[in-house]
A and B are shown apart, each in its own frame.
Chain A
Amino acid sequence: MTSEGISGRDDRIVQRVQAAERAALKWFRIKVALVWIGLVATLVLVLYLADEIDLEWTATWGPLILDGARTTILLTVISIVLAVMLAVLGALGRLSSNPVAYGVASLYVSLVRGTPLLVQISFLYLALPQLGVVIPAFESGVIALSFNYGAYLTEIFRAGIQAVPAGQREAAQALGMHERHVMRRIVLPQAVRIVIPAIGNDFIAMIKDSALVSTIAVQELLWRAERAGRQSLNSLQALLVAALVYWVLTIIFSFFQERLERRMARGDR
């Protein structure tokens, strides 16, 4: 009886403490939201007072710039898919005991991570033709982005594969599974779950890096914003629109990425 009474009281205390914590967190979030609204409103007000918000301009040119976001997203989606494929191969190479596979993979990672993405883009578009390889602009951008991100993701995949507990592999081997099957059916699926949040992060980063492809005349978001702004001598408006579109894109994809991350973490408890 006594013990029941005490534990009942403890439960109530725990519940009240938890409720208080939840309320505090809620208030904190509301305040943060108010700070955001305040800051954004100030920014808009400053631009409005400086007479630099031109809705007519935005109505005229907005659709053209926004249409470039489709190219940006298409470019990024294709590139991230290819980058993941490259990364799986790269990670297997980095973990291989075969010196050729290891050498190829480690050179790839070192070379690509050791050179700027802008140099890689220009190289594919301007330099490769001297060797007789002419790749169209859009494809050049896709190849540069996927090679670049593939190298960074290679290291992430390698870490993901290594993070799968050794017991999993040993158990599979004890069951008599072939080495290749162990990798494909036991290790990789678990590694993928570990690295998916990182892929999401890189996807969001790539949306922004894809702006570099505007330098080789791919008519994506930034290319269109620059041209539209230049001819109407209103770069402020044009780049504001472009920045806003990038920002909204990253917010949208971050939202999905966070949900995915939470879902992937669920099994770890």
Chain B
Amino acid sequence: MSQRGRLAFLFSTLLVAGACSGQGATTPPTGPASIPPAASDGVPSGSDAAPSNGAASPGADGDDLLAAIQEAGVIRISTDPNYAPQSVIRPDGTYEGFDIDVANEIGERLGVEVQFETPDFDLVQGGGWNGRWDVSVGSVTITEDRKSVLGFTQPYYYTPAQMAATEASGFTTLEELAGATICVGEATTYLDWLEGTLTLGDGSVPVDPPEGAVGTTLPTDANCAEAIAAGRTEFQGFLSSSTTVQQAIDSDVPLVTVGDPVFFEPLAVAVDLSGPSHEALLAELDRIIGEMHADGTLTGFSEEWYDGLDLTKATE
């Protein structure tokens, strides 16, 4: 579409929105809008490219999501490129990491192209995606609370939740963190655990958090590592997946791991329960994950990204 066409579309959208009369106008009526130049290098990057796929998102006509994805030949997968080594952005604007490899493999086995969307994790885990992306392959932990808004496949890997203390605090045991302030990512299971509201979807019961420890949130887990690395001292602890904690320690963030893992998280591919009909897609995704477990693909990815560790088996 020409620039003028885009302007005309935007202006009409503006008027519609201004008149508060837009109902259910989920997709641009005029077909695919041009992709902004930033995303035009053949790199499937960013949600600003979303309208190009507008025709693929099923409307309210009850279309099946799997059928719609196959028809469009594109699956829109959300990833938050703030979580090394699961997902990070590369200098060329593409993404890499364990989750990215899993997502691309899923796309390949579905026989469709993968287009990554990059909303923040807290927007993903609460459901209500409004059709902005189809699937999350973003290390979402299966919890009882999230089961009411998201549909999960079987876990594709498991990570231990690991507590770490800042070197400045001098703490070396979990008990010492009683009453301490612990930095966690927004809307994570780590925050739920500190607040005593975490119920894991596999029924396992985590140990109790340190007495009186308070969680303070930054937008993502990586912000915590970043803040501690930059020399901020308002928190003594950092709780995240052992993979994220290890990555931070390997990058010389002044942290030490404290105690054994506090719980083990089953991480799964998720779809939005409030979105279009997803049963067939979820079943197909579950089958693909099972297949990737069985043929060793997931183990291969895990060993590649987690220093030879196989995190794909349930841990006791």
Contacts and interface: CB of A to CB of B under 8 A. Distances in A.
Interface of A: 60-61, 63-64, 67-68, 70-71, 74, 78, 81-82, 85-86, 124, 126, 128-129, 131-139, 142-143, 146-147, 216-220, 224, 227-231, 233, 235-236
29 contacts: A61-B91, A64-B93, A67-B38, A67-B93, A74-B37, A81-B7, A82-B7, A131-B23, A132-B26, A133-B22, A133-B23, A134-B26, A135-B13, A136-B54, A139-B13, A139-B51, A143-B13, A143-B14, A147-B18, A218-B47, A219-B38, A219-B39, A220-B38, A224-B89, A227-B81, A230-B82, A231-B84, A231-B88, A231-B89
Interface centre among B130, B220, B222 (most CB of A within 10 A): B130
B128 interface: yes
Interface stretch (B113-121, B201-209, B259-267): B113-121
Contacts of B132: 134, 136-137
Interface string B32-46: 010011110000011
A137 B91 contact: no
- Interface size range on B against A: 35 or more
B47 A134 contact: no
Contacts of B131: 134
Interface in B32-79: 33, 36-39, 45-48, 50-51, 54
A70 B38 contact: yes
Nearest to A133: B22
Nearest to A57: B91
Nearest to A85: B11
Nearest to B3: A78
Given A143-B17, A218-B46, A68 B10 contact: no
Given A124-B17, A231-B222, A233-B229, 12 more contacts: A70-B36, A70-B38, A71-B37, A78-B7, A129-B130, A136-B48, A136-B51, A137-B132, A139-B10, A217-B47, A220-B38, A230-B226
A227 B226 contact: no
A133 B29 CA distance: 13
Contacts of A231: 81-82, 84, 88-89, 222
Nearest to B37: A70
Nearest to B118: A217
B47 A68 contact: no
Given A74-B37, A78-B10, A233-B253, A217 B223 contact: no
Contacts of B25: 132-134
Contacts of A126: 123
B14 A146 contact: yes
Contacts of A124: 17
B252 to A, nearest CB: 8
Nearest to A137: B47
A228 B50 CA distance: 22
Contacts of A224: 89, 93
Given A132-B24, A227-B82, A217 B37 contact: no
B99 to A, nearest CB: 14
Nearest to B90: A64
Contacts of A143: 10, 13-14, 17
Nearest to A132: B24
Interface of B: 6-7, 10-11, 13-14, 17-18, 22-26, 33, 36-39, 45-48, 50-51, 54, 81-82, 84, 88-89, 91-93, 117-120, 123, 128, 130-132, 220, 222-223, 225-226, 229-230, 251-253
Given A74-B37, A136-B50, A219-B38, A233 B13 contact: no
A64 B89 CA distance: 10
A217 B46 contact: yes
A82 B17 contact: no
Nearest to B84: A231
A65 B10 CA distance: 26
Contacts of A227: 81-82, 88-89
Nearest to A69: B38
A216 B11 CA distance: 21
A139 B28 CA distance: 10
Nearest to A62: B91
Contacts of A139: 10, 13, 33, 51
Question: Lowest 6 A-B CB distances belong to which pairs?
Answer: A138-B48, A129-B130, A71-B38, A219-B46, A137-B47, A231-B88
